[in-house]
A and B are shown apart, each in its own frame.
Chain A
Amino acid sequence: MDSIYNALCDIVGKEYCSNLPEEIYIYSYDLGTAEPKKPDYVVSPRTVEEIQKIVLLARDKNIPLVPLGGGLSLAGLAIPQKGGIVIDLKRMDSIIEVNERARYAVIECGVSQGQLISYLKKHHPNLTHSEPGAPPAATVAGNIIIHGQGDLAHPYGFSSDMVLGLEVVLPSGDIIRIGSCALGSGWFTIHPLPDIGLFLGWCRTTGIITKLSIKLFPAKKIRGTGTFVVEDEELIPEIIYKITHTQIPEDIIVYSRAIPPFAKGLHHITVNLAADSEKELEFKQELIWDDTLGEYIKNDLGGYLGFTKELERPQISKTSDYKKGGGFEYVGGIMPIDTYPQCYIRGREISEKHDIPYTVTARIIGLAHSMMFAWTYAFNRADEETIKKAREALYETDELVIELGGVIWKPGIYGQRLVMDRLHPGTKNLMKKIKTIIDPLGIMNPGNWELL
């Protein structure tokens, strides 16, 4: 009998542990082009204590550990590169506290985007969080851990900028807390204790986040999207600069794609606006469409396509699948806004070279301090040749991000190497030391960020 399997069953119960080939298979791949790798075990714990015990077991037996949320981050990030135990965190799904007045929520790491949105709608209609365009089954924690961006990224930045407290199980099995919750005084702030920025963006190589507190924001009564269409890509940085100067939108996205044809060669700038009254909404609309963008309309350079109330969330996932076969993966680059024209032109070239209809999308982050520019490549799951083409296109795009002076967001292994090769030696050294102290056996997600 498999003693590790038995030990895991003792921790979480038989029904939440598996080493059956058909179940393990499901955890061996993600939606993208990454090569599948099978784990040896899958467990689904319900408590922090169970997670702690699993970590201690893995440490004692020197077995790799890979935490998994919704598994929707693509790029193979939650694929067990070296086998081991996948910890499926979906059962850690309690919404522990919502503080209406201080506008924050304390949640467990398995709470999904859809769950939080519907909970807030029902119990706290005046509050919302920054929701990414991912399918609703993606977890809030998964998005924060990878420095994702949601539909409030324009005013408030990356999702990870909205963290107010963390509880983490370290690879040693220790449980730690960061932020005001470490003093036992509630989960309302991450500052002003000394900064321990060790768990966000480390691609789960430093610990398993079990609880987190995130900022919530006012949910206005009316939310909707207006669209502005521009042909000349060179105008986009200037237009974005002007729109963000108003400090009014909740979210700004620019997209262009070959299919459907209306979007080809054009840049659709979607601007989400929110208001509590018609008066407030019209004030905001006037400032944006008439006062800020009116000159472009007059000069035949841009066109207002209208405003639709009743925001459909999430928006991006609905339109990602226009090609036969249902597969897609993207490279996201965190880019300076000024690079938009180059990102677009070069992205089109890469797509056309690989015979893939081009799709590019940019989300503006933090008042245009940067943008997440996504180059998406569709492929047919049933056709190995198209997967290969998409993979090649993704690698070329990783290189493009670096060439254009950007930072690859949630890179896969190929992109991770590009980043590591260029990282400041002092920085790399410090990161290595930290990783060695925190995870001396290297059990956390080995294979990813290998050089660490």
Chain B
Amino acid sequence: MFELKFNQDLCYHCNTQACLTKCKFMDIDNATAKNEILKIVRGEDSFVLHECVTCYACEEYCPYGNHPFYLIVERQEALGITPQPLPLVKRAINISIPFRGEPEINEINGPVINLGAFSQLKNKIQGKLFDGLSIISSDERKMFHYFCQLMYLHYGKISLIKERLPNVISTITKHKPAEVICFHDECYGAYTSFCNAYGISVPFRPVHLFEYLFSRLIKLRDLIKPINIKVAYQRPCSSRLCPDKHLYVNRIFELIGAVLVKRQFSDENALCCGLTIQGQKKEGSRKRALEIQRKNIEDIEMAGAEVCVFNCPACFDTLSIKLKERNIIPTFMSDLCRISIGEISFNDIKMSG
């Protein structure tokens, strides 16, 4: 089985304990943080393992890339601490079992875009920006063959990821892709951060959607008409696994002339959408999730955004109705880019929901 590459010496000598002191869900001072992270390193129980809402953020907070969050989930599993109640864990385990037969493998020998478990979002990858890309996982009935499995980080089930991810990688590899553009941050995080941390080999080159969109927009520069609208960005938890790609948000916005509004909860200080929190076992979780959503929505509204852009379909589903109630248009980054090159309008987005 694959082992986490975690350097405990770094923690012994670390001065910041940023992984825990920056945590937005626990109020921890340096001394406590040091104590608790070392307990976790030694495999002992810690209140952190019980209080963690699995927001992924400490993966980004650790200045040494030491994977504290993966370690937390390892220990949660070892000690049988599941953040979610058991029926939801069982449901989650079952959800990605493919049940409609084997995927149809065609060799592509060129760039592909992988929709993972979001085949229903094919309409988000249309037009000139995606010209020349082959789509894998376009069949809703077979998409779980392409599902990166990383969501089990929310369920204290890291062993399941280690068990299933290599098969998914092997399925994708059979398509002989030159490079794999990952529609969702979580897939990208799986094939980069997670696989690096566990020494799982990835025979293809994963590309983050934002990086891809940016390079395509550069090529289509002549078509861009500045959007000139105030747009907020809602950062998903899985973007914490690839913070180096987060800067593409700014780059894309600059290129398409969208005004990125200044939010309190942005960049490192982002707040997740709360979806994973609402069902957690800890008392008050549902209310906690609502509170997080309220904070996000008010923040977006106070920042003056007319549009809110997402990359994660789960965040989109969680927040979009609430945004619409406040006359803020929710949309995907890919659609925002398509607007900039005149392929669709905000009205189309409003109409299509």
Contacts and interface: CB of A to CB of B under 8 A. Distances in A.
A289 B285 CA distance: 11
Interface string A337-366: 000000000000000000000000000000
A262 B87 contact: no
A261 B86 contact: no
Nearest to A278: B325
Query: For the complex, would chain A's binding face be called helix, strand, loop or mixed by DSSP majority?
Result: mixed
Contacts of B95: 260-262
B278 interface: yes
A8 to B, nearest CB: 47
A302 B91 CA distance: 11
A229 B87 contact: yes
A297 interface: yes
B343 to A, nearest CB: 27
B88 A303 contact: yes
A369 to B, nearest CB: 27
Nearest to A302: B87
A309 interface: yes
A266 interface: yes
Given A259-B99, A261-B95, A303-B279, A266 B286 contact: no
Contact of B88 (A229, A263, A286): A229
B199 interface: no
A301 B321 contact: no
Given A290-B287, A303-B279, A304-B286, A309 B85 contact: no
Contacts of A298: 281, 283
B91 A303 contact: yes
A262 B286 contact: no
Contact of A229 (B91, B97, B99, B283): B91
Nearest to A224: B321
A216 interface: no
Contacts of A264: 94
A310 B324 CA distance: 12
Given A262-B94, A262-B95, A297-B281, A303 B87 contact: yes
Given A260-B99, A306-B275, A265 B90 contact: yes
A300 interface: yes
B94 A290 contact: no
A399 interface: no
Contacts of A230: 87
B17 interface: no
Given A259-B99, A261-B94, A261-B99, A231 B283 contact: no
For A285, A298, A301, A303, the residue with the greatest tally of chain B CB atoms inside 10 Å of its CB is: A303
A297 B87 CA distance: 9
A301 B85 contact: yes
Interface string B94-124: 1101010000000000000000000000000
Contacts of B275: 306
A310 B95 CA distance: 24
A268 B86 CA distance: 14
Query: For the complex, would chain B's binding face be called helix, strand, loop or mixed by DSSP majority?
Result: helix
B85 A297 contact: yes
A300 B86 contact: yes
A266 B90 contact: yes
Given A289-B286, A297-B85, A303-B85, A266 B91 contact: yes
Q: How large is the interface on B (under 10, 10 to 19, 20 to 34, 35 or more residues)?
A: 20 to 34
Contacts of B321: 309-310
For B85, B87, B88, B275, the residue with the greatest tally of chain A CB atoms inside 10 Å of its CB is: B87
Interface in B200-249: none
Interface in B245-296: 275, 278-279, 281, 283, 285-287, 290
Interface string A215-258: 00000000000000111000000000000000000000000000
Contacts of A263: 91, 94
Contacts of B287: 286, 290
Given A303-B84, A304-B278, A231 B90 contact: yes
Interface string B75-93: 0000000101111101110
A354 B281 CA distance: 39
A437 interface: no
B326 to A, nearest CB: 12
Interface string A256-300: 000111111110000000000000001001100110001011101
A7 interface: no
A430 interface: no
Interface in B52-95: 82, 84-88, 90-92, 94-95
A341 B281 CA distance: 25
A397 B34 CA distance: 62
A231 B86 contact: yes
Contacts of A282: 290
Contact of A266 (B87, B97, B281): B87
A294 B281 contact: no
A434 B185 CA distance: 70
A305 interface: yes
A309 B85 CA distance: 24
Contacts of B278: 304, 306
Contacts of B99: 259-261
Contacts of A265: 90, 94
A294 B281 CA distance: 9
Contacts of A231: 86-87, 90
Q: Which 5 A-B pairs have the closest CB atoms?
A: A303-B88, A262-B95, A303-B85, A261-B97, A261-B94
14 contacts: A229-B88, A262-B91, A262-B92, A265-B94, A266-B87, A266-B94, A286-B287, A294-B283, A297-B85, A298-B283, A300-B281, A301-B85, A301-B87, A310-B321
Given A262-B95, A300-B82, 16 more contacts: A261-B97, A262-B91, A266-B91, A289-B286, A290-B286, A297-B85, A297-B285, A298-B281, A301-B85, A302-B85, A303-B85, A303-B88, A303-B91, A303-B279, A306-B279, A310-B321
